[in-house]
Each structure stands twice: as C-alpha cells, then as structure tokens.
Amino acid sequence: MTTSHPVPAAEDLPNGHPWWRDAVVYQVYVRSFADSDGDGIGDLPGLYRRLPVVARLGVDAIWLNPIYPSPQADAGYDVADYCDVDPLFGTLADARAVVERAHQLGLRVIMDVVPNHTSDQHPWFLAARAAAPDSRERQRYFFRQGQGDHGELPPNNWQSVFGGSAWSRLPDGWWYLHLFAPEQPDLNWADPGVPDAFTRILRFWLDLGVDGFRVDVAHGLAKDPLLPDLDETQRPLSGQHPYWDRDEVHDIYRHWRKILDEYPGQRTAVLEAWVTGGDRLGRYLRGDELHTAFNFAFLQAAWNAKDMRAVIEHTLEGLAWIGAPATWVLSNHDVVRHPTRYGGGQLGQQRARAAALLMLALPGGAYIYQGEELGLEEVTDLPDHLRQDPAFARSGGKQVGRDGCRVPLPWSGERPPYGFGPPGSHPWLPQPAAWATRSVEAQERQPDSMLALYRAALAARRAAGLGDGPLSWLDTPEGMLAFRRTPSLACAVNFTDEPLALPLVLVDQPVLLTSSGHPDAGWLPPNSATWYGTAP
C-alpha cells in the first residue's frame, strides 16, 4: 500500500509554510540502492521501481548523490558533464521519470551539485591541459609553476582531503590544484565563465523539475587568489582561511538564491559546509542566501546527554539570529554508520533507535541515509582489493575510507544480492551474510524492527506537526535529556546504561512511541527514547 500525498504547489502549502524548513529527506546513494540491470551497480530504473517503498517510509523528499557522467574516480563526485546522466545509472529520460514518479508519490527531489571541482575528464579540463600556460582555458582552474630550482616542488603546502599534496604536476611541468583526488581539479570561481556555467547547470535541472540541490563542498569554492601557504595555526573560522569558508563564497550563494527564487514551488538548497562554531554556518543561511545546511556537529557528537544537549543548544542558538531551521543528520555516505559509531552490536542498535526518535523530535528538518531505517551497520571487513574510495589508496591504507557505509541495500531474500539486483548478480561491494535478517522484506514481518520504528516515528511526526517550532527543556536526572515540542508532545532520551527515573511531569503521560519496547511506568530504560503525548 502506498501513502500518496502528491507534492502540493507552493501556494497550497498550509499558511505558505516553506516545505524545506522541516522536511525529512531520504538520501539515495544511487549506486547502492537498487540495481535493475544486474551489473552490480544501482541505477535510476531500480530507484524508480522502489520509490513507493521510500514514499511508504513517510519522508518528504529524496536527495540523489551524483548521477552525472563521470569516470567515477570519487563515486561520481568527479563530474564530466553536469547536464546528463552516466550510462551506469541510466539516461536523462530515466532521471525525468524518477522526478515525475517521485512527485506523484508526494516526494520532492534534490540533486547533488558539485561546483568545487570537475572531473579531470571534463571537456574544460581536457582543453586546459592542452592549452598554453596563460590561456583562457587554464583560467578556469588553478595552474601554477612549482617551487624549487626546477619547479619540482608543489606551489604551496596545501594538502588534499584524501591525503598527499593538493597539487599534481602535468608533463609540461605545470601544477594544478585539487583539494580532493587528482582526478578532481578545483575550479576557479573568480573566472566569470565558471559562475555562468553553473547558472546554466542549475537552470537545466530546475527546468527538468527538480526541487532543489545539495551543494557539495559549499564552503570551499572561494580561494585566496594568492594561494598562500596554509598556516596550520589559523582557524577556519576567521573568513581568511586560504580555501575554507572564505567570505567571498557568499556572493555565489546570493546569486544562486535569485535563480532558485525565479522558479515556482519553493526550490531549495542544502549546503554541505563543514564549518562549525560561532555564527559561521548561519551566514550561509541569511535571508538572501541559501536555505539549509547539514548540521554535522550533531553527527559528530558522542553518545552522552551532556554533549548532545550542548550540540542541540548551540545549533538552535547559532541559527536563531538568522531565523533558519536546523537540519539534523546522523549518517551519510562519508561517515561510519551511526549504529557502529554508537558501539555496534545490540548496544549500537538500541542507541540508534533512540537517536532516531531524538532526531525526528528536534525542531527543523532531518536527513535519513539509506539503510539507516534498516539499522545497517558499517561493513568493516571489506577486502582491501575491493575498496574503491580514493581516500584508501591515496593514504596508503591509513584511512580505511568510506566504502563500509556504501554497501548495497538488502531488500529481500536469504542470500546476496538480497534483491538489490537480479538473482545471481554481484553487487559492487559484497553484502554481509547477517543482512538476511536486515532486509526490508524481513523487517516488514517484524513489528518491532528498525524499519517499523522509523515508519511509526515519521507518521507520528507528521500527525503531530513536529518540525519547525520551539523546544523547551524539562528538568531531568543526569544522563537524560527531555524536552517538550508541542503542548501535547515530549521526548525523553536516556543516554546511560541504567534505567533512569522520569521527570514527574512525564510520569503519567501516555506513551506515543518508544524505542525500547519495554516502557516501565515512571522509568526510562537504558539507551532508549520515548515520545510522550497523544497524536492529534
């Protein structure tokens, strides 16, 4: 059975309330979601067929990781053509079909846009490589001569996020900048051709009907034109770091906001901006800039009441001055899955269940990374020769990389590929044997499964009108957090390994939803969360 609540036109939204302020967005890592043709890699037709399952989860939107033509040196974050679809994933017609089907099912669609760098196989970079040192073509990137007697040393000390120097040398002796892999040369946003091209790219997808963008490395687009050495003592918070979170980057987003606003239906953007502290993140969300930004401090917080409360308060206060909503996220394709971060095994599952109820009760929007609703853990025993994350190879294996959170989803059946692809197909990363009990099919048979909890929480969140709005803390014993969201709904979380006595105000409240399955009157079980109140 499919829950159908087709995407309303902006003018039909209750009180004109912007949908993006408290949307729950499901992140689809396309290559690991559903494989329709048996090549081991998820694709758009696979996603199309499974969209009703996403709609039934009760989310508001999907975010697709990059599907553009790409040599896949960094799983599609090395884009060779921003206005097409990689044959690995399907065609432009498939993308259009996914957007239309999603809309019919009441889901909005957010595309990943990758403006900090292109692929080294993008026509621009191929032309730049072939062109003369001071050519127009090379202006679109950062080409410099090296240091040392023969230019044999990189132009500065910047390091790639994936390890090693951020510079690579071409056969003609010139160096080019890549803050990520060598296959991802950084674009020079000070060259007018670059912003112009992205204006066209955004319009291309907006015209196709997408509802917004997730902006990759949003804090990295502006570079100090002098490319000075990085002084390690300089904090990125100053606005003067040579490449992260520079003040000029905001001009780009002011321009993008105007483009988004030209389109009907409240088109939106969510920024991947790894900036924390002070008001730096809020600056991206000023009224004339973009809409939301991932709150990575929440994802990085340890499982204890003190740290979680500090992060929640800091986030809400940091955004209050700007009137922007918070965006909560526990996992994504770049980090170790949270049940593993929270201790793994049974303990990790309990805490992940509690974390889900915490996240979905907080004010603002939330992102669910595919498989989190199944309680999937990080796969830690992948054979090295199958690892594909460039971070693994570039760091000489020191960074294990991100493949462990990208293993294809289990949908059904007793053995791999668990319905991810046709029987007998081999997913691009091997799925653990234990995933037979984690499949969607298996969890649909278990009333107390993680999937059942997510569905119940999302339904209750919708019914109670959770999302945007105030939060007021309740007095709690050490190790517990409790807060009221609406007059009739409160959430309490026990972060400790012991049962804790509930605050008196909650003792007689009806239990709406609990992560533990064993609510004891007056007590909150260890590592659990409960919603108290009544659904309207």
- The set of catalytic residues is 216, 262
| Nearer Cβ to ligand NOJ (180/256) | 180
- Return the H-helix or E-strand segment holding 258: helix 249-262
Least CB distance to ligand NOJ at residue 114 (A)? 6
Rounded Cα gap, residues 118 and 180, in angstroms: 11
Residue 369: strand, helix, or coil: strand
Interatomic CA distance for residues 45 and 39, integer angstroms: 13
Distance CA 251, CA 247 (A): 8
What minimum distance in Å lies between the beta carbon of 272 and ligand NOJ?
6
Q: What does 458-503 look like in DSSP terms, one character per residue?
A: HHHHHHHT-SSS--EE----TTEEEEEEETTEEEEEE-SSS-EEPP
Name the residue with the smallest CB distance to ligand NOJ.
77
DSSP state of 452: H
- What is the per-residue burial (b if ≥16 Cβ within 10 Å, else e) of 501-526? ebbeebeebeebbbbbeebeeebbbb
Q: Who's near 110: CB < 8 A, 6+ residues apart?
A: 25, 61, 62, 63, 64, 210, 211, 212, 213, 214, 268, 270
Looking at beta carbons only, is 116 or 494 nearer to ligand NOJ?
116
CA angle 68, 245, 321 (to 5 degrees): 110
Residue 86 beta carbon to ligand NOJ: minimum distance, rounded to whole angstroms: 15
Q: How far is the CB of 30 from ligand NOJ (least distance, A)?
A: 13
The DSSP bridge partners found for residue 28 are: 64
Residue numbers of the site for ligand NOJ (CB under 6 A)?
74, 77, 114, 180, 216-217, 272, 333-334
For the CA atoms of 396, 407, 270, 311, what is the dihedral angle to 10 degrees?
A: -80
C-alpha angle 358/362/365, rounded to 5°? 115
- The residue among 22 and 272 lying less far from ligand NOJ, judged by its C-beta, is 272
Least CB distance from residue 179 to ligand NOJ, whole Å? 8
Taking the complex as a whole, how short is the minimal distance between the CB of residue 393 and ligand NOJ, in angstroms?
13
Name the residue nearer to ligand NOJ (CB basis): 333 or 394: 333
By the 8 A CB rule, do 332 and 77 touch?
no
State the Cα–Cα distance between residues 257 and 267, nearest whole angstrom.
9
In the bound state with ligand NOJ, the residue whose beta carbon lies nearer, of 7 and 218, is 218
Tokens of 487: 């007059």
In the complex, the smallest distance separating the C-beta of residue 429 from ligand NOJ, rounded to whole angstroms, is 15
Compare residues 95 and 271 and give the one whose CB is closer to ligand NOJ: 271
Task: Identify which of residues 291 and 333 has a Cβ nearer to ligand NOJ in the complex.
Answer: 333
